[in-house]
Structure 1
Amino acid sequence: MFAPQFRPLKKFEKNIFRFFRTLQSTNFSSASSSKKFNFESENVLERFIIDRIRSTGPISVSEYMKLCVSSQYGYYAQKAKIFGDGEGDFITSPELTQVFGELIGAWLLNELHMTGWEGPWNLVELGPGSGALMVDVLNVLNKLKSDNKLNVYLIEKSAQLIKQQKQIFEQQLLNKQISINWFDSIEDIPEGFTIFISNEFFDALPIHQFVRNKEKPNIWQEVYIQLTSSNGSVEIDEEDGQILTKKHLCFGLSPGENIHTRAYIPQHIRNDLSKTKWEYSPLATKITLEMIKRFTTNGGFALIIDYGHNGDRKTHSLRAYSNHSIVDPLDCPGRVDLTADVDFGEIKRVIEGKCLIFGPVEQRQFLTQLGLIHRLDYLLRKSTTTEQREALLNSCNILVSDAEMGARFKVFSLFPNTLSEIIKARGGIPAGFASPLPHLEDEDLIND
């Protein structure tokens, strides 16, 4: 807390005060406001990050992601169109085809029946995005007459996305009487048998990035976001010499070990000299442990689908998407989607023994074993136009081909230890997690 009565304000403190007064007095949405920022010419969040770094020094990648993704002026709070073609920045599996959500719905219902549970149950989706996945899952449950004892809870903090989700539920749900409620966190969800699902949620959680020092391999440094210079660096068009962008932010490194390197980097990573770069998301671990605690106490299980790896990645994975293209993560903070691969290997290491763990397996394996090809064949025969057939083939090809989502996306499931005997009696694995299939070529899917 500043105390101007005891000492004069420094220049950067005055700038901070001036900036916060601007935030408090500015209306960003009302057309009748006397003063309104033009987001095309003034990036409020970038200005805040620059002033913060000037005031307190470089920030971690994790802190940068928190500000860019989930703050009041971050991506999910300000971006009107996030998912899908056209103005969206990226497409998730549910937006591609109904088949994805239908198979997920069939999977969770099958696993629910396998547990023997017949009472009321909760279905929780972490980061429901556009709401398309939940629509397809709930419509499957409705068609199978399995939604009468169900309560749906969505973990979502973005008011903008909640509005979109409510709209799609109103337009597309077969059973509009089903109970759907929104919460900020897992802790807020009522007790009860709970099934968790998430698709492209964990990849948006903040990460810390670390680099092994080349001269002193036993020393790790944290990647920071810092200022390029007092005036920023300028990118010039090579053809006409015009200024393209003025970059104020860049990556840097901590001078040596810090509180995060000491707290987060496990000994097995330090001992593996082939690992020179590493990423870690404390929040991903925390949320996973919260799910385990909930279904261990009340019954249930979890299914996680996301970009990721089994701990074998040796490079950093932070990237940004805008209009379906990869862009610089430090350009236009809050206006582009930030994402990083999920380290399922590290999550497994932390939760080992606390629950039953299956996967990660490739998405193409999971969906194909659940019957994607058979469902696709049925829908193709029901299609009445060439356009419908081509759209179905293209979308399913993206889901399972190695060149698209098939190999990059992983599927991970968690069950309470109390179900070990039940799962063992049915073959030792849940549906979709059997031995890997041979890699599919495009022709395997698209040929009639």
Structure 2
Amino acid sequence: MRSNSLTLFRTAARCARPCPTSYRTAQYGIRWSSSGERQWSTPLAKSLAEAITTTGPISVASYMRQCLTSPEGGYYTRQTTGHDQFGAKGDFITSPEISQIFGELVGIWLYAEWLAQGRKEKVQIIEVGPGRGTLMDDVLRTISSFKPFVQSIEAIYLVEASPHLRNQQARRLADTEEPSKSDIGWTAPCKRIPGCNIIWCEDIRFVPKDETSTPFILAHEFFDALPIHVFQNIPESKIPASSTILTPTGPIKPTTGPQAPKNNWHELVVTPTSSSSDSKIPASSTKEPRPEFQLTVSKTPTPHSLYLPKTSPRYKKLENTPNAIIEISPESLSYISDFAVRIGGSNPPTSPTPPLCTTTPTISSQSAPLKKSTTSGAALILDYGPSSTIPSNTLRGIRSHKPCSPFSSPGLVDLSADVDFLALAESVLNASPNVEIHGPVEQAFFLGSMGIKERAERLLRGAKDEETRKRLETGWKRLVDRGPDGMGKTYKAMAIVPWQEGRVRRPVGFGGDVVG
């Protein structure tokens, strides 16, 4: 496994898989019953169906966003009583919940990077999508032992859209039931670091950035939950010239006439399944609820299908591959670009491009250019996805630790998709001139390099009973197990650090040693 994404980025991407098998698709649209008698699994399912019936099919990105963060019962924003999304009793379990060693090693990584960069002052620690706060709690507990590092920390920022999760984080990290309102969100004193505040924001754009700050950014299982757009390369597809889409920065015109491509990208969009078609499926034929929604191939172009597949040479290489499927996450690219700008400053503004979607919140690194005389900071991304290919057919649902259809029970099912690490790397290099990328490397390599075995052995020697010893042993091995039931191979680590002219310094965990 190569640990430098610059090398990976310059290699040719392999083709995406052809026509999907995991998606239930219908060619060029369907008809469905809008009868008020239909029973929906959740209020959000009914609301989505009514909206689609009124205005037409929606993108996968819009569907994911509503299912996960809708105020009308989104998975992360709904109020839960006696049920938690995380942990053994919830729907899924994450690495910090499996073993405390995971968060401890992430804390050590931050400290090692702070040392390597010359012990910077005015440090911000930022986590996007902090879950229940387990990772940040272990990180802060670990770094609290390094007093000079702690004294450099100005504030801890948590980017969280869910009020329910924000309150859980506040209880864990600040010993308070509900944080106080602040100018940019909410705040409470950090229990691990006296004199330092934890500040919650709903969007990373509210986190202050300036040329003198040193941001250390954590994104653990964050990008997999960001919405994706899905496109299929339809053979012998003809897009009429009248399909031109007007935007505030100019029209997007499809290529027509003799120069028109033989294949065209069409967006896969979400529609409700029809009541009549559902009734033909015997209830005893499946133990899962029948999907209430399905993917259909859009007959006409969408702004996304005319624009997004043209944004990278990796996608363009698939233009002559009939029925290829690609997944693109504009929000992921916006977030990772913001990380890069905070660390290395902005690239000079380029010519304006059409907006990705009028309903999609984007984070522009060019709206407020940032110049950093001295680059500093780092970002650590830990997530799952392929190392060098474009994800396809990866949208999935999970409930009670079991896979299920992403189109059933909206709001009660967690949705995710594989992270396109090469797309993230490409966006980082386009966003800032003064950063370098390392990884992705397998989680087993990263944690092994950070000393997970040695830390586990030390904890095992101090275990007070057999139950604790068994839990520690099972936990750390699961994190690095490269088999089908482990997390060591599927999960990857990637780092963004400042670029230094004349030398490449690999961070610890990515083939480098502790320096400074």
Native 8 Å contact 1:200 1:305 kept in 2: yes
SS where residue 407 of structure 1 aligns?
Answer: coil
Shift of 1:326: 0.6
Q: Which amino acid aligns with 1:199?
A: H
CA distance in 2: counterparts of 1:285 and 1:392, whole angstroms: 36
Greater share of residues in helix? 1
SS where residue 63 of structure 1 aligns?
Answer: helix
**Residue 218 (1) aligns with residue 263 (2):** yes
2:355 maps to: none
1:408 maps to: 490
2:467 maps to: 387
Change (3 A) 1:215 1:48: same
Kindly report which structure 2 residues correspond to 1:303-314, keeping only aligned pairs within 5 A, or say none: 303-313=380-390
Native 8 Å contact 1:75 1:335 kept in 2: yes
Native 8 Å contact 1:186 1:291 kept in 2: no
**Residue 254 (1) aligns with residue 298 (2):** yes
Native 8 Å contact 1:79 1:335 kept in 2: no
**Residue 238 (1) aligns with residue 242 (2):** no
**Deviations 1:232-254 (CA, angstroms, capped at 9, x unpaired):** 61443337x9x974543111111
1:74 maps to: 74
**Deviations 1:63-98 (CA, angstroms, capped at 9, x unpaired):** 000101111021111153111011x11111111111
Shift of 1:148: 2.4
2:412 maps to: 335
**Deviations 1:213-235 (CA, angstroms, capped at 9, x unpaired):** 24556212111111222556144
Q: Which amino acid aligns with 1:315?
A: S
1:148 to 140, 148, 151: 151
Change (3 A) 1:245 1:323: closer
Change (3 A) 1:268 1:210: same
Task: Please give the TM-score of this superposition, normalised by the length of structure 1.
Answer: 0.81
CA distance in 1: counterparts of 2:74 and 2:276, whole angstroms: 24
**Deviations 1:319-352 (CA, angstroms, capped at 9, x unpaired):** 0110011111010001111000110111222333
Change (3 A) 1:385 1:147: same
2:457 maps to: 377
Native 8 Å contact 1:105 1:136 kept in 2: yes
SS where residue 422 of structure 2 aligns?
Answer: helix
**Residue 182 (1) aligns with residue 200 (2):** yes
1:271 maps to: 317
CA distance in 1: counterparts of 2:229 and 2:79, whole angstroms: 24
**Residue 349 (1) aligns with residue 426 (2):** yes
1:109 maps to: 111
Provide structure 1 residue ranges, at least 5 long, that are not aligned to the other structure.
1-14, 19-39, 436-448
CA distance in 2: counterparts of 1:244 and 1:169, whole angstroms: 38
CA distance in 2: counterparts of 1:197 and 1:271, whole angstroms: 32
CA distance in 2: counterparts of 1:395 and 1:113, whole angstroms: 29
Q: Which amino acid aligns with 1:74?
A: G
1:85 to 88, 94, 108: 88
Q: Which amino acid aligns with 1:413?
A: A
Change (3 A) 1:387 1:176: farther
Q: Which amino acid aligns with 1:357?
A: I
Shift of 1:256: 4.8
1:289 to 329, 332, 337: 337
Shift of 1:147: 1.6
Q: Identify the structure with bigger relative contact order (alpha carbons < 8 Å, sequence gap 6+).
A: 2
Change (3 A) 1:196 1:245: closer
CA distance in 2: counterparts of 1:53 and 1:130, whole angstroms: 33
1:209 maps to: 230
1:315 maps to: 392
CA distance in 1: counterparts of 2:192 and 2:200, whole angstroms: 20
Change (3 A) 1:429 1:245: closer
CA distance in 2: counterparts of 1:129 and 1:183, whole angstroms: 14
Native 8 Å contact 2:233 2:263 kept in 1: yes
1:161 maps to: 165
Structure 1 vs Structure 2: percent identity of aligned residues? 32
Q: Which amino acid aligns with 2:196?
A: I
SS where residue 266 of structure 2 aligns?
Answer: strand
CA distance in 1: counterparts of 2:201 and 2:479, whole angstroms: 30
1:438 maps to: none
CA distance in 1: counterparts of 2:399 and 2:444, whole angstroms: 26
CA distance in 2: counterparts of 1:161 and 1:179, whole angstroms: 18
Shift of 1:210: 1.0
**Deviations 1:103-149 (CA, angstroms, capped at 9, x unpaired):** 00001111011111331210000010010000000011112223223
CA distance in 2: counterparts of 1:289 and 1:313, whole angstroms: 19
Q: Which amino acid aligns with 1:389?
A: R
CA distance in 1: counterparts of 2:192 and 2:423, whole angstroms: 40
CA distance in 2: counterparts of 1:328 and 1:244, whole angstroms: 8
What is the root-mean-square deviation of aligned Cα atoms in Å? 2.5
Change (3 A) 1:107 1:314: closer
